[in-house]
Structure 1
Amino acid sequence: MEPLPEDSNRNWTEPGVYEVAAGVYRIPLPLPNDALRAVNVYAISDGTTLALVDSGWALTESRQLLSDALKGIGAELGDVREFLVTHVHRDHYTQAVVLRREFGSKVSLGQLEEPSLKVTADPDQLPMQAQVELLRHCGADEVIAALAKMFGDVPRRTDVDQWEDPDEWLTPGRRTVLPNRELEVVHTPGHTTGHVVFLDGAAGLLFSGDHVLPHITPSIGFQPVPADLPLNDYLDSLRLVRALPDQRLLPAHGPVAGSVHERIDELLEHHRQRLETMAAQIDAGASTAFDTASRLGWTRRGRKLSEMDAFNQMLAVLETAAHLDLLVSQDKLRVQTIDGVRHYGTN
């Protein structure tokens, strides 16, 4: 599997190894039963030392494709010195933990991911337990029932060993990755509380993880330990990165893009419009986050909430709640809790 030049006309999910800059290679790895279809892992190499940004999902197929791709740049799985992980979601973190156990690679993760990682690693903690509680506050009993039907009332935990602690908790600042290459670690909460991006200013690159994606808006606050105002965190993080010099966008999902700033401007405008739309729905009589989400279109196709699977219904309702709670914090809406459900109204 020889490296290919990055090509915007090629489907970004096509397996292979693609040279995006000198010494930087994009490696798409598969995601099972996921609309995203693939996650980009980035190999950074000087021919002697090798580091990876993110790692992929701990799956047999993913491991094999990663191994094949690394052979294309003259390396093997055991040559990976370090995994720099943008955030603690399964498709970014778990393969790094499994490969560390076998080869001794170092794993590094943002420090503020520690609370969520500890909850995820707890064998007595049910998957999505925090999200189910939030859905109750949203008046989304239908979605809770659909999740139980989709995943079972008591999902089995068979992956606790994939959630071990990293070797290093990352904090913002400059960090040497290869002997002659440094990255800037930038804390970008929102998608998760401890999400980080990696800035290679010398090469004009931003390894953006799920913070800035070229074709979709990242889910907000899907994590075992929810944040109080995850959308506020996310918008602040977008503005933080927008204030940095513009770079090429190396996202975790989707093709490489030419401008981080251009995409951030689109994301900020999307959320501005979404906040206005949700406020209008409350003004028109919607009361709960579930009510509001049910009145909106979702994805670029404008699908109804009822047309989506249970998992994506959950993401949609919780994202709606994040927008409504931000409007409350801005004194643009009011909220009261009745029998455990949050009801919103206009001021």
Structure 2
Amino acid sequence: MEWTEPGVFEVAPGVHRIPLPLPNDGLHTVNVYAVEDGDGLVLIDSGWSLDEGERALVEALGTLGYGVEDVHRFLVTHLHRDHYTMAVNLRRRFGTRVALGAGEQPSMARILARARDGQATSLREWGAPHLAEKWRAVMEATGEGALRDYEEPDEWLGEVEVGLAKRVLRVVPTPGHTRGHVVFVDVESSLLFAGDHVLPHITPSIGFEPARPALPLGDYLDSLRLVRTYPDLRLLPAHGPVTDSAHARVDELIAHHEDRLEATLAAVGTGTGTAFETAAKLGWTRRARRFADLDLFNQVLAIGETAAHLDVLVHRGLLTATAPAPATHPRLYTPA
């Protein structure tokens, strides 16, 4: 059975995977995990706030003998809307407590301030002013619809342990996919609720967020190595099937990014280039699609990913970079 099939799937005693629908062309489903907690449930991630998603969640919880009102708490791995926004909307009706990693505070502040120019500014810095204008137009057309599902959580999570009725979840900050991403580790049951940090079939985007940090790929690689220091845990990802070895996939992700760093360095070659120019020379997705064949959203992701790899190469001393002035000239990368 495909992991995207709707239903309720027990992945460990008292832990159930619930796939919920997404509107995206690429990712069709997000996994929410319902953890039995006394006379109710704790949900790890919540899904995108869609009528279709809420119907699927209500039906799934009913299969377990619960209603949405029986959810005590949402523990959310990061602020992307396919993980966070259903929790906000259900809280408005049922008062359910919502927790989010403390590292998401800068991005949340920008969202609540309706600061919508972050990606456009970055695109100019990365050498793609033409895409910056297209992106700004899309954001303006989207209007308040993309922002109305955001509110601050009830609780900002640091490196703490969350005690439930039958288990303890250790909150582990894992910046990279977003600066405030966290995973939840159940050491006793050998479970890793990984969010988008470790995905079995795809590599998560890096640094696509309102408040992008200075070195998101460096943060991500450090976070992968941190997770690798834990015992090998069963991988419960947000997108993809449950697998038995988090270590195996962490090793693959680290190797993938090292290969990608080599390819990015080769794409710069002996000349000077921007992140946009470098991204245009690379293949994208597992099918090595041409950059020009990507839609606007995926072109923006691709340029941001390339910038993240270029900045790590600068950090390692393999490239040098100019200080950008987005209004007049982009950041240029040159072999060291």
Provide TM-score, normalisation by structure 2.
0.96
Residue identity matched to 2:225: R
Give the one of 68, 85, 94 matched to 2:76.
85
Give the one of 140, 144, 158 matched to 1:157.
144
> Deviation string for 1:76-112 (max 9, x for gaps)?
0000000000001101101001101111111001111
Give the one of 156, 165, 184 matched to 1:169.
156
Residue identity matched to 1:165: E
Structure 2 counterparts to residues 94-243 of structure 1, below 5 A: 94-123=85-114, 125-126=115-116, 129-148=117-136, 151=138, 153=140, 155-176=142-163, 178-243=164-229
* 1:259 paired residue number: 245
Give the one of 320, 326, 332 matched to 1:343.
332
Residue identity matched to 2:48: W
2:57 paired with 1:66 = yes
- Aligned partners of 1:187 and 1:228: how far apart in 2? 17
| Cα distance change on mapping 1:47 and 1:304 into 2, 3 Å | same
- After TM superposition, give the deviation of residue 145 of structure 1 in Å: 4.2
Q: What stretches of structure 1 of length at least 5 have no aligned partner?
A: 1-9
Asked if structure 2 preserves the Cα contact closer than 8 Å seen for 1:121 and 1:161, the reply is: no
Residue identity matched to 2:304: L
- Aligned partners of 2:252 and 2:19: how far apart in 1? 25
- Aligned partners of 2:135 and 2:147: how far apart in 1? 21
Structure 2 counterparts to residues 14-93 of structure 1, below 5 A: 14-46=5-37, 48-93=39-84
- Aligned partners of 1:162 and 1:342: how far apart in 2? 34
- Aligned partners of 1:118 and 1:236: how far apart in 2? 25
- Aligned partners of 2:266 and 2:154: how far apart in 1? 47
Structure 2 counterparts to residues 2-17 of structure 1, below 5 A: 10-17=1-8
Asked if structure 2 preserves the Cα contact closer than 8 Å seen for 1:184 and 1:198, the reply is: yes
2:293 paired with 1:302 = no
Asked if structure 1 preserves the Cα contact closer than 8 Å seen for 2:123 and 2:300, the reply is: yes
Residue identity matched to 1:30: P
Residue identity matched to 1:138: W
Asked if structure 2 preserves the Cα contact closer than 8 Å seen for 1:140 and 1:290, the reply is: yes
- Aligned partners of 1:326 and 1:53: how far apart in 2? 32
**Structure 1 counterpart SS, 2:91:** helix
Asked if structure 2 preserves the Cα contact closer than 8 Å seen for 1:54 and 1:83, the reply is: yes
- Aligned partners of 1:192 and 1:26: how far apart in 2? 23
Give the one of 262, 269, 272 matched to 2:255.
269
- After TM superposition, give the deviation of residue 159 of structure 1 in Å: 4.8
Asked if structure 2 preserves the Cα contact closer than 8 Å seen for 1:174 and 1:183, the reply is: yes
Residue identity matched to 2:310: L
Decide which moves more: 40-49 or 21-30.
40-49
- Aligned partners of 1:237 and 1:34: how far apart in 2? 28
* 1:4 paired residue number: none
* 1:6 paired residue number: none
- After TM superposition, give the deviation of residue 74 of structure 1 in Å: 0.5
- Aligned partners of 2:9 and 2:143: how far apart in 1? 37
**Structure 1 counterpart SS, 2:321:** strand
- Aligned partners of 1:296 and 1:159: how far apart in 2? 31
| Cα distance change on mapping 1:273 and 1:260 into 2, 3 Å | same
**Root-mean-square deviation over aligned CA pairs:** 1.5
Asked if structure 1 preserves the Cα contact closer than 8 Å seen for 2:38 and 2:165, the reply is: no
**Structure 2 counterpart SS, 1:81:** strand
- After TM superposition, give the deviation of residue 286 of structure 1 in Å: 5.6
> Deviation string for 1:115-145 (max 9, x for gaps)?
111211224x22xx21111111111134324
Residue identity matched to 1:271: H
Number of matched pairs = 333
- After TM superposition, give the deviation of residue 331 of structure 1 in Å: 1.0
Asked if structure 1 preserves the Cα contact closer than 8 Å seen for 2:270 and 2:334, the reply is: no
- After TM superposition, give the deviation of residue 34 of structure 1 in Å: 3.8
**Structure 1 counterpart SS, 2:199:** coil
- Aligned partners of 1:28 and 1:227: how far apart in 2? 31
Residue identity matched to 1:318: G
